[in-house]
Amino acid sequence: MKAIVQTEEKVTASLQLQEVPTPTLKPGEVLVQVKAAGINRADLLQTQGNYPVPAGASEILGLECAGVIVEAGDTENEVGQEVACLLTGGGYAEYVAVPQGQLMPIPQGYSFVEAASIVEVACTVWSNIGMLAGLREGQTFLIHGGAGGIGTFAIQMGKALGATVAVTAGSAEKLATCKELGADILINYKEEDFADVLKNKADVILDIIGAKYLTQNVKAMAKDGHMVTIGMQGGVKGELNLGHLLAKRGTISATALRGRDNADKARIVRSTIENMWPLLDSKKISHHIDHTLPLAKAADALQKIQDGTITGKLVLEI
């Protein structure tokens, strides 16, 4: 099969389309012919040497895809079944082996491209904000990076759950996109301090920045607030005033999806399908795709992620 291969360590631009062996199925896996693969910042980090591949996982990039089952292995799935897939790796290719617990139905009316754009963000946002932080109606939900792939989904989910949604973004254009998706409080982080705007008001915070925002996030946090960190774009080491956190009875969690075992991922996938797929099917939450590129242009796509020039998601078409 053809797949994207990194030919030079820590050099994103060295990605090339090459011939590689087609995956061999393990027990409990199916082989999916990939029609589209979603692009995530984690893919960029992997090419830079900052997101190691879990033991036993494919070295090929790609954490989500959509396609057609061509081999069902020892599972109860059927050849020809159209699926969306949560992956540990391997999506930037013509074929990928997928544990059956990480298969998801294509949302009603969705193309393969649209389905490939939604898997990782849906599982990430729901597992952290729904399952872990327990966002509920009437709360204030702060999302950093509101115009990104995670943010555009999180805004819609927050509104669907009845929360007041606040977002940070770095331009008027990106904030306009957030407003169109339902965001209530729009903060340009280049012009305003979100911690002053939301002081003691944020019940749930979805943080992709990490160390740089640690003190400000605690300042913004409401009593019994919960901050979930899923990214470290602003560094890995920060200073935390535990007295301020204690006074707010606050909770800070840090999570990652990729390194979980298959059983844990299957649990998250089941809960995401149960709680988020009805919202996708009914169009209460929609995909937000900036544009698509062919598989061979993977390096160009990741450069766009690095440059921060897109809103929503990029998808590779195979």
Q: Where are the domains of the chain?
A: 2-118+258-317, 122-254
What torsion do the CA atoms of 44, 49, 54, 57 make, to the nearest 10 degrees? 70
Query: Which residue has tokens 């470290």?
Result: 232
DSSP sequence for 184-243: SEEEETTTS-HHHHTTTTEEEEEESS-GGGHHHHHHHEEEEEEEEE---TT-S-----HH
Task: Write the Ramachandran bin of 309: left for phi over 0, alpha for psi from -120 to 50, otherwise beta.
Answer: alpha
Contacts 24+ apart (CB under 8 A), 262-266: 262/28, 262/99, 262/101, 262/102, 263/101, 265/86, 265/99, 265/101, 265/102, 266/99, 266/101, 266/102
Helix axes 149-160, 172-180, angle to 10 degrees: 40
Fold of 122-254: Rossmann fold (3.40.50)
The reply to whether 122-254 shares the fold of 2-118+258-317 is: no
CATH of domain 2-118+258-317: 3.90.180.10
Q: CA 96, CA 158: separation in Å to the nearest integer?
A: 32
Neighbours of 189 (CB within 10 A): 17
Per-residue pLDDT in tens (0 to 9) along the chain, 318 residues: 999 999 999 999 999 999 999 999 999 999 999 999 999 999 999 999 999 999 999 999 999 999 999 999 999 999 999 999 999 999 999 999 999 999 999 999 999 999 999 999 999 999 999 999 999 999 999 999 999 999 999 999 999 999 999 999 999 999 999 999 999 999 999 999 999 999 999 999 999 999 999 999 999 999 999 999 999 999 999 999 999 999 999 999 999 999 999 999 999 999 999 999 999 999 999 999 999 999 999 999 999 999 999 999 999 999
